[in-house]
A and B are shown apart, each in its own frame.
Chain A
Amino acid sequence: MSGETTRQELFQYVIRLGDNALINGQRLAEWCGRGPFVEEDIAMTNIALDLVGRARMLLTYAGEVEGAGRTEDDLAYFRNEREFRNFQIMELPVGDFAFTTARQFFVDAYDYFYYRALQHSVDSTLAGIAAKTLKECEYHLRHSAEWMLRLGDGTEQSHAKISTAVAELMPFTYELFDADGIDRAMQANQIGVDLNTVEALWNEKVNNVLDEATLERPELKYTRSGGRQGLHSEHIGYLLAEMQSLQRAMPGQDW
């Protein structure tokens, strides 16, 4: 493998992580001012803030790896739909509180086990970001797992809503573990993590929480994947149009 290929692969690898945090944060931030009560409004805004902070570290690093002088903002505001590499689950519209809870729970559990493993990356920048991120992931997972229990084991209505959300989202979780060549190369050179291990831990956690929340884990009748290659749901274009509007309208300015 040439040095250049590795650099391109590492860039792709880091940008995927950065995009996942950015797009998840962008969606979660839509709750700001609309939460079911003030404390929860604050908690969701706080988590969105953590995700944006994580995205900034990762996109800045991606720009450094690429070596073409692109900043976090160049990467966030001047890439198009096909260049974003986040999982589709991140970009789905915000939905109701049950949908947001289920999405956060699936993603938080993934991030927790993923970054816990990534702390041991031979890439010291990634290891450092992972160590910093892990503390937040732990809190995020505790938060969303508690809400899974409250909604699953709360009222009949909340049980029905969270069941629907879990059923809607489960096909999108397939993608989290749908490794491609870049994942395998990064695992082989000990920069990346072993997705099979993450998947086993994720399954255990998800099954336990669903079980305690008196929720069924639905069978997968279909699956969604493709974000790693920039193949998205139709929602991504609208999300980017909104997020990037001002930078695109007046490019080349300081903000």
Chain B
Amino acid sequence: MTDSTTLPEIFQGRIDSEEKIEPRDWMPDAYRKTLIRQISQHAHSEIVGQLPEGNWITRAPSLRRKAILLAKVQDEAGHGLYLYSAAETLGISREQMLEQLHSGKAKYSSIFNYPTLTWADIGAIGWLVDSAAIINQIPLCRCSYGPYARAMVRICKEESFHQRQGYELLMTLCQGSEEQKAMAQDAINRWWWPSVMMFGPGDANSTHSAQSMQWKIKRNSNDELRQKFVDQAVPQAEYLGLTLPDPDLKWNEARGHYDFGEIDWDEFYQVVGGNGPCNHERISARIKAHEDGAWVREAALAYADKQRQRARKAAA
């Protein structure tokens, strides 16, 4: 490199040679902003994602399933925590991030704006939603930003555990009574398309993609990842004996992939825009938890303050 190499050039050079960027390193403002947006959105998704699954904890049909579901929802909250911490290394506070979630400024994964109507929905979420999450997240384990990449390694391990548990739940239903199998099929009918939409807009309409690819925050396009998801899910659905609700789904020998039908982009943008079946309820639930907890957080701070003063007095 010559003397005239600029900071942005050095930065891009490090990224090109697969070096990790760490919190104290120089980074372009836009890189920082993009990461804050993406990591906090990811963290919010984990936290809001507790709600639809938490909806079935008190009604889980066996104690084993209750324990598995409690552990899963606890894991998701843990993911939220690692991710909030990763975002904090970029100079935003948790309070600010929560503010953005509650005001609607920050987004979270739209999938959690759908309701969990029956027990089979818990299996459908584990199988489809955790699968989609893994496919989205595996490339993030190699993200150029160190703290995010490291958080993703930990998270991906747990997500694959969730995915297997969800699949096993559905398998149990599919091997059960007609009524149970119908419950599983109904859940897949409702969760399939929202899961396919989890990969975001098609490549032609994806606003942030090119820059994120160059920064190695993103390594695959939305449509590539979506295809991977579909290819993986089809044989798994067949094995369960369930039908995916897409008449256009068929193997394309020439492409070596499954073709699938057109996504209802109108529904996608409705839900992203706040008009999904549970958007209002999810955010209201988060705001209520935060507001109901305000006095608790204040008490903890006041107590810690008193303890510090007492310690100082004792030392004097």
Contact = CB atoms under 8 A, between A and B. Distances in A.
* A is bound by B: yes
B61 A151 contact: no
Contact of B64 (A40, A56, A247): A56
A41 to B, nearest CB: 5
A108 interface: no
Binding site secondary structure of chain A: helix
Contacts of B60: 246
Contacts of B70: 29, 32, 45, 48-49, 52
A30 to B, nearest CB: 6
Contacts of B285: 33-34
A67 B63 CA distance: 20
A246 B77 contact: no
B111 interface: no
B81 A39 contact: yes
Given A42-B78, A46-B74, A52-B70, A243 B59 contact: yes
B67 A33 contact: no
A37 interface: yes
Contacts of A39: 81
A52 B63 contact: yes
A158 interface: yes
A49 B73 CA distance: 11
A52 B177 contact: no
A4 interface: no
Contact of B289 (A35, A45, A48): A35
A242 B61 CA distance: 10
A63 to B, nearest CB: 12
Contacts of A245: 59
Contacts of B177: 250, 253
Contacts of B73: 32-33, 45
Interface string A39-64: 11110011011001101100100000
B127 to A, nearest CB: 16
B66 A36 contact: no
B117 interface: no
A151 B60 CA distance: 33
Interface range, B side: 35 or more
Contacts, number: 135
Q: Which of B61, B77, B84, B301 has the most A CB atoms < 10 Å from its CB?
A: B61
Interface string B64-91: 1111001101100110110010000000
A73 interface: yes
A143 to B, nearest CB: 13
Nearest to A239: B58
Q: Which of A96, A158, A247 has the most B CB atoms < 10 Å from its CB?
A: A158
A161 B295 contact: yes
B299 A157 contact: yes
A151 B78 contact: no
A40 B218 CA distance: 33
A77 B60 CA distance: 10
Nearest to A60: B63
A250 B295 contact: no
Contacts of B71: 49
A152 B68 CA distance: 35
Nearest to A39: B81
A96 B301 CA distance: 19
Q: Which of A35, A40, A59, A72 has the most B CB atoms < 10 Å from its CB?
A: A35
Contacts of A153: 303, 306
Contacts of A56: 63-64, 67
A26 B60 CA distance: 10
B51 A33 contact: yes
B155 to A, nearest CB: 14
A55 B54 CA distance: 20
Interface in B296-316: 296-304, 306
B63 A59 contact: yes
B162 to A, nearest CB: 15
A243 B58 contact: yes
Contact of A250 (B78, B179, B299, B306): B179
B300 A154 contact: yes
Contacts of A53: 67
B57 interface: yes
Contacts of A72: 63
Contacts of A37: 293, 296-297
B47 interface: yes
A73 B63 contact: yes
B176 interface: yes
B295 A49 contact: no
Interface of B: 47, 50-51, 54, 57-67, 70-71, 73-74, 77-78, 80-81, 84, 119, 172-173, 175-177, 179-180, 285, 288-289, 292-304, 306
Interface of A: 22, 26, 29-30, 32-42, 45-46, 48-49, 52-53, 55-56, 59, 72-73, 76-77, 96-97, 149-151, 153-155, 157-158, 161, 242-243, 245-247, 250, 253-255
Q: Which 4 A-B pairs have the closest CB atoms?
A: A36-B293, A154-B299, A158-B299, A36-B296
